[in-house]
Amino acid sequence: MRGASQVRCVLRAQALNGESPVWDERSGRLFWVCLREPALHAFDPKTGQDTAWKMPAWIGTLGLTPTGAVVALRTGLFEFTEKDGALRFLAPAPFDSRRFTFNDGGLDPRGRLWAGPMYEPLEPGDASSAPRALPFWCYGGEGTWLPGTAPVQTANSLAWSPDGRTMYHSDTPQKTLWASDYDVETGTASNHRVFARTHEGVGPDGASVDRDGFLWCALYGAGKVVRFDPQGRVEREVRMPVQYPTMPAFGGEGLGTIFVTSANHSLSLEERRQRPEEGNLFAFEAPVPGLPGPTFRMPEKG
């Protein structure tokens, strides 16, 4: 498990910013996004086929629905229907879209959508004195977003413990992962505390939790995926054949495979030519299976 020899490339995607892998048990496919392409993808590991739907704006995260997915775009939240590729507007983004975009997010155990920001101003830049950090939000329905964490500049590592009582998240530039007490009934997080700190690469990126409650986190820029025990101690490291892994997710038969997206946008064009493996989709066998993923639940009115 500690060497790259057990890690295999399953899709030569060469994605600018592969992110947010989510396993769809119904179809046996891995949904994922390329944030900057921007596109929503569905990869079938049995056939090797990857289907992509172009998006009208940068796409940060997704949650599966019975007919497709909800997608958090820079311009807002939309419902995507796979059959016809249509997008239905649900809510505006809770930020200035010239200054921020959505980055990491996911569904809580009850199917609520959480999504966090990334400070990424559009050209020609940002001369504003406004804050450059914003919280993770929980979508509250009817176009509303409810703030749920302290402000972060680059939201990442959102995941929940097997019992749903602990929520994890990070701010990549701070190289810090936090744990919070989570109320599954109300969808609120409290008692935010430091779970772990990282010291290599740019910082913690996407994360997933396995059946035993261990948190798997990609370290962007460090070329590895790290497994933390529930106390925040490093239990093992899996070296990746790329420098910029972005997020692990469980999938495959029995949720026994870990798929890992990666990115190449941090490299120059010449570096991308010299390192074509950057941005590809990888997989390795997990020592412990993952957890079944929820389906998006539209918040009830009133």
Which residues carry out catalysis? 205
Residue 17 is labelled as binding a ligand: no
d(CA 77, CA 213): 30
Supply the DSSP string of 32-99, one letter for each residue.
EEETTTTEEEEE-TTT--EEEEE-SS-EEEEEEETTEEEEEETTEEEEEETTTTEEEEEEE-SS-TTT
Report d(CA 219, CA 227) in Å as an integer: 11
State the greatest distance between any 2 C-alpha atoms of the chain, in Å, as a whole number: 55
Positive or negative: CA dihedral 188, 193, 197, 202: positive
Geometric angle at alpha carbon 94, from 298 and 20, rounded to 5°: 65
Amino acid occupying residue 168: Y
Q: Determine if residue 237 is labeled as part of a ligand binding site.
A: no
Please report the sign of the dihedral spanned by the C-alpha atoms of residue 82, residue 85, residue 91, residue 93. Answer: positive
Cα pseudo-dihedral 79, 216, 11, 61, rounded to 10: 20
Q: Is 280 annotated as a binding residue?
A: no
CA distance 106 to 63: 6
Q: Tell me whether residue 103 is annotated as binding.
A: yes
Burial class (CB in 10 A: 0-12, 13-18, 19+), 253: exposed
The annotated binding site is made up of 19, 103, 156, 205
The annotated binding site for substrate is made up of 103
